Structure 1
């Protein structure tokens, strides 16, 4: 088996082949994919990318997230697309596995805990409660 690793920081078409373990089956090639490797045309991929971009935006941008938070955000986005797909199937009358659905919900909750919530925003008119109170006193 040949394992192809993709360095998505450059281009998805650049791949490095890694030598298989001694005695491993070399008749198959495994390509490790990331969200960046997908062409994004499926509804699920579009939804996962939409959720990911919303999460990143809510947290002030990609540069405000550390690697663990970013990878948790990616996992959260994929889990959300999977959960929505199963939920839509059930609502459409399809038979779904309730245990699988609950497992995905729990996994998503754990990813949210690792990722952390967005920083609270100041929604006070004028941008700052202290300044608003001081302005009222003047």
Structure 2
């Protein structure tokens, strides 16, 4: 196996027969790859409308996309610095990343950040002198607009006479 390929060793002498499953959250985040992956997770979650709006499946796909992206960046850096890379593995990673991002969604999902009117008014209202409480009362309604005379006429009575058509007798 070449040094560029990732080897997954699930057994060691210390824990024979045990498999330790670790995630991005479990590792030390001081490496550049971990910081890059975590930053991309945060950006993708934000693009998807926020972490609180994601399903567990969407969150898992976002984490996979971030880790795959970090692996692509590592391969790209190696190649740009003159080190050999496995081009087939790199192509598979970039294709996998494209599919993950397409599944999650490449378009930004806007979040509704409009405050509730009552909350907005309560936050911007000033209390009366010596009173710490704020009372929000609805504004008085304006009186209804009076209709114009032309709007009250019957449909068959027009405000100006129509001349008779030629040939009509009166």
> What is the TM-score of this pair, normalised by structure 2?
0.53
> Which structure's residues are more often helix, by fraction?
1
State how far apart, in whole Å, the 1-side matches of 2:95 and 2:16 are.
37
Counterpart position of 1:107: 96
Consecutive unaligned residues of structure 2, counting only runs of 5 or more, are: 1-14, 111-170
> Which protein shows a greater Rg?
2
Counterpart position of 1:56: 45
* Shift in CA distance, 53/120, structure 1 to aligned 2, threshold 3 Å: closer
Offset from partner CA, 1:84-126 (integer Å, 9 cap, x none): 00000000000011101000001111111221233455xxxxx
Match of 1:88 among 62, 77, 81: 77
**Pair 1:47 & 2:36 matched:** yes
- Kept in 1, the 8 Å contact 2:58–2:104? The answer is yes
**Which stretch shifts more, 97-106 or 60-69?**
60-69
Equivalences for 1:2-41 in 2 at 5 Å?
27-41=16-30
- Kept in 2, the 8 Å contact 1:68–1:115? The answer is no
Consecutive unaligned residues of structure 1, counting only runs of 5 or more, are: 1-25, 122-138
Match of 1:66 among 50, 55, 75: 55
Moved over 4 A (4+): none
- The count of residues paired between Structure 1 and Structure 2 equals 97
Give 1:38 deviation, angstroms.
1.1
Alignment RMSD: 1.9
